[in-house]
Structure 1
Amino acid sequence: MPDCTPSPEQPPRPVRTITDLARIAGVSAGTVSRALSGNSLVNTKTRKRIEAIAREHGFHPNQMASRLRRQKTGVIGVAIPLGHDVRQQISDTFFMTLLGYLADELTQKGYDLMLRRVVPSADEDWLERFIGSGMIDGVVVIGQSDQFERIEDVADGYLPMVVWGNHQEGQRHCVVGTDNRLGGKLAAERLIAAGSRNLAFLGDPDPIEFAARYAGAVEIAGKHGVPIRCLRTHLSPDQVSAEIAAHLATIADEIDGLFVATDAIAAACLQEMRKRGIAVPEKIRVVSYDDLPIASQTVPMLTTIRQDIAAGAKGLVELLLRRLAGEDTESLVLPPHLVVRQTA
């Protein structure tokens, strides 16, 4: 006979973070943060209900932030969320370049670095858990991935956080990054000026930064009456080569200009084009994005959109230190620059 003995009741989860309180109240973490800080954007009825739940569970607003302010660790957390592509690796050349500059800047300021690669689908509270660990004084998030709203919610109640990513009007979290939309415009303008009349974007259009690059290219292509299509390509090394090969097998005879989302994807693309005997730039011109060291080492060398990663790392650290001192800083948007080499 089946065992019908009732199972013991599970003890309720303790309320340690704003996210825990938001789950009980049935609202977003940002709403809880604003309610507990007395923000007028939250209506009186909702604010009082959240305050009552907080009292019931012994939760005090900003208890995590105040604890971190009292106990300095000398460590800055660096989180890389990979919600958009869980198979991407930290060994990606862009991550390694930015992390190198970031480590140099933090060391010069007397801080150590704690690195975490995060797959948000497996840990929904990854950011709250990291900043509430008591092990770090502040956090740098590299890339917004598909975590924009979560980062926004945390920014409402946690000041010492700066994000490498794309800035959009009205956002609440502090960002350092390049004007990605302008970079996309520069790429499309270069391809069209070089004679391309049928364009494609090679990359994943879902991450915010890549979406902005693609949107910029689409805008310029539209102004010139030039078609542009999106060829979805991931950054994970176990996917990128096969995806590029499939794209080229389908459209190599139809396009004469490629805007590639990153130098790393572009390098893999050049290898595949060489295997297929596709001449660059004679048959297809290529413009990529980042201007990593690899861009000047490919054959032919990549024409690319440069984002000043060293200046970006310096900006991330400077803004984070100001926020650790209690200052609510503005975002820093760096200008992109076209670097003309051999592929376009």
Structure 2
Amino acid sequence: MADDEGPVRSITDLARIAGVSVSTVSRALTAKGALNKETRRRIQELAAKHGFQLNVAAQNLRLGRTGAIAVLLPLGHERGQHLSDPFFMAMLGFLADELTERGYDLLLSRVLPDGDDWLDNFIRTGRVDGVIIIGQSDQSAVLDRTAERYGPLVIWGAHAAHYRYLTVGTDNQAGGALAARHLLEKGRDRLAFFGNVAVPEFAARYEGFLSALPADMRGKVDLVHAHVTPEASHRVAADYFVAGHRPDGIFAASDVTAMSVIAAAAEQDIRVPDQLSVVGFDDVPLAQLANPPLTTVRQDIRQGAHLLVDLLCRRLAEEDTASVQIAPELVVRESS
């Protein structure tokens, strides 16, 4: 290597001086792709010595790329939900880490759909190379239509054979069945489900819950429509208990709802878990800090984030891909 052979005005000049390919220099200076650590360090030192900085924006423009991935949260059914939701916060943290490792910036947007063209309109802006959507909400038809003509799109959510779009998500029916069997093992037979079954993921959890119960119990389960925000779900649970309902086992569609149920039960002197066993879904970090610590069905959110980004990158590379379901796990703590 002769690192003093002429000025360095372009990435080609730096590649010539370093004795490597232009693509190797690009990977070294953008931290994208696999590269030997020593090679990366040597090229970065050469660039610093010659005062060379890669114009990433210009490079992306030449390649027809933006260097950014959108993470969208469509709130068609729960318009009061916020990005501060514990599940969203955990998922976004893992996604940000994964995208950074791949050399992408993350563009985050909370979407309140006001028509059927919100996703197409966003994609037409050309601001990103691909889109990850967290939750289908009630937007399955929109996602299906867009997926027919836009490849780099991956959704975190429930899978169904008729969906045209690519999904990564937990086997929600299996998770609901885990919750039902656990409550049965605890001797609970007056059961309730708290959740909005208009949401595909929550509907699957409810279906799985019922499927694992004896046939004569299924029609006796209280279905309580609860929103996912802490305030709304607490209000619903409080009204439910004040009306005199006294189940001895509750399966909530999310940990946030489960923790709200526990708080509302305490206000009515209903002891958890002595009089009432409560099971949530997600295993957000707050679940183990609840009072009492929450029994829940764990989704492996870290693995989910990795799979979302990996499948999206494979889509961008025009590789074959298929939807993935992750097995749930029951985490038993003191609330049941």
TM interval, short-chain normalised: 0.7 to 0.9
Aligned residues: 276
Separation in 2, partners of 1:225, 1:317: 41
Shift of 1:218: 1.2
Match of 1:96 in 2: 89
Match of 1:37 in 2: none
Which of 225, 240, 253 aligns to 1:247? It is 240
Q: Is this contact kept in 2: 1:69–1:137, CA < 8 A?
A: no
Aligned partner letter, 1:298 = A
SS in 1 for 2:273: coil
Separation in 1, partners of 2:192, 2:243: 12
My pick for the range that moved more, 68-77 or 301-310, is 68-77
SS in 1 for 2:217: coil
Match of 2:303 in 1: 311
Separation in 1, partners of 2:326, 2:167: 11
Separation in 2, partners of 1:192, 1:163: 33
Which of 193, 198, 203 aligns to 2:195? It is 203
Aligned partner letter, 1:190 = H
Shift of 1:222: 4.0
Match of 2:179 in 1: 187
Separation in 2, partners of 1:281, 1:332: 35
Aligned partner letter, 1:250 = A
Match of 2:266 in 1: 274
Q: Is this contact kept in 1: 2:230–2:260, CA < 8 A?
A: no
Q: Is this contact kept in 1: 2:230–2:256, CA < 8 A?
A: no
Shift of 1:87: 1.0
Match of 1:212 in 2: 204
Match of 2:106 in 1: 113
Match of 2:119 in 1: 127
Shift of 1:240: 2.2
Which of 226, 248, 256 aligns to 1:256? It is 248
Aligned partner letter, 1:127 = L
Match of 1:74 in 2: 67
Identify if the C-alpha distance between structure 1 residues 76 and 110 changes in structure 2 by more than 3 Å, giving closer, same or farther: same
Separation in 2, partners of 1:70, 1:198: 61
Aligned partner letter, 2:305 = A
CA deviations 1:288-340 (Å, max 9, x no partner) are: 10011111101111111001000000000000000000123101100000111
Shift of 1:232: 0.5
- 1:1-344 equivalent positions in 2, closer than 5 A: 71-120=64-113, 122-223=114-215, 225=217, 227-253=220-246, 255-344=247-336
Match of 1:13 in 2: none
Aligned partner letter, 2:146 = V
Q: Is this contact kept in 1: 2:297–2:330, CA < 8 A?
A: yes
Give the % identical residues.
Answer: 45
Q: Is this contact kept in 1: 2:242–2:268, CA < 8 A?
A: no
Match of 1:19 in 2: none
In the alignment, structure 2 segments of 5+ residues that lack a partner are 1-60
Shift of 1:225: 3.4
CA deviations 1:271-302 (Å, max 9, x no partner) are: 12112211111111111100111111011111
Identify if the C-alpha distance between structure 1 residues 248 and 232 changes in structure 2 by more than 3 Å, giving closer, same or farther: same
Q: Is this contact kept in 2: 1:263–1:304, CA < 8 A?
A: yes
SS in 2 for 1:343: coil
Separation in 2, partners of 1:175, 1:264: 23
What TM-score do the two structures reach when normalised by structure 2?
0.79
Q: Is this contact kept in 1: 2:299–2:329, CA < 8 A?
A: yes
Match of 2:55 in 1: none
Match of 1:54 in 2: none
Shift of 1:223: 3.8
Aligned partner letter, 2:226 = T
Instruction: Work out which of the two has the higher radius of gyration on C-alpha atoms and give 1 or 2.
Output: 2
Q: Is this contact kept in 1: 2:230–2:257, CA < 8 A?
A: no
SS in 1 for 2:73: strand
Separation in 2, partners of 1:252, 1:302: 21
CA-atom RMSD in angstroms? 1.7
Separation in 2, partners of 1:251, 1:84: 28
Q: Is this contact kept in 2: 1:191–1:257, CA < 8 A?
A: yes
Shift of 1:221: 2.0
Separation in 2, partners of 1:216, 1:92: 24
Shift of 1:170: 2.9
Which runs of 4 or more aligned residues in structure 1 lie more than 4 Å from their structure 2 counterparts after TM superposition? none
Separation in 1, partners of 2:208, 2:169: 16
